[in-house]
Amino acid sequence: MLKRFSISLEDNLLRSFDKYIKAQSYNNRSEAIRDLIRRALVREQWQGDSNVMGVINLVYDHHQHQLQEKVTEVQHDYHHHIVSTTHVHMDHHNCLEVIIVRGKAKEVEELADRLIALRGVRDGNLAMSSTGKDLS
Ligand code: NI
């Protein structure tokens, strides 16, 4: 059930918000505010011990001594968290590894941090998602 509430905003802030809404193609303010609230709550879940799904992207040079072995070793340490791993040989030197993970936000972050910190990893990031099922 939808509930109504009113918000007080300074002129400038409201003008900026309306510009944002237009740029993001929202139909109205309510829709935009709902999305912003959901996003804030999902972000909060990431920091807690809620269950999330995540995607870790790694770019590394497979010529770096023992790096390939270390990337595999860390993943075996977290094998309960790993759903699937795809390895793409980008060019002569570089590999892209895309790892789909699930588990407690903190553990998923810890796994990503360990992989990204390995010497020779040129680029790495983690994107986390939750169903936000309590947020609809
Ligand atoms: Ni490769």
Taking a 5 Å cut-off on Cβ, the residues next to ion ligand 1 are 62, 89, 95
CA distance 3 to 23: 26
The mean pLDDT value of the chain amounts to 90
120 and 99 in contact (C-beta within 8 Å)? no
3-state SS assignment for residue 130: coil
Give 104 Cα–ligand 1 centroid separation in angstroms. 29
Distance (Å) from CA 94 to ligand 1 centroid? 6
Using the mean position of ligand 1's atoms as its centre, give its distance from the Cα of residue 48 in Å. 34
pLDDT, one tens digit per residue, over 28-86 is 999 999 999 988 887 776 666 778 899 999 999 999 989 999 999 999 999 999 999 99
Best CATH choice for the domain 51-130 from the list 3.40.30.10, 3.30.750.24, 3.30.70.1150, 3.30.70.260:
3.30.70.1150
- pTM score of the predicted model: 0.69
SS3 state of residue 134: coil
135 confidence band (pLDDT: 50, 70, 90): very low
Which one-letter amino acid corresponds to residue 119?
R
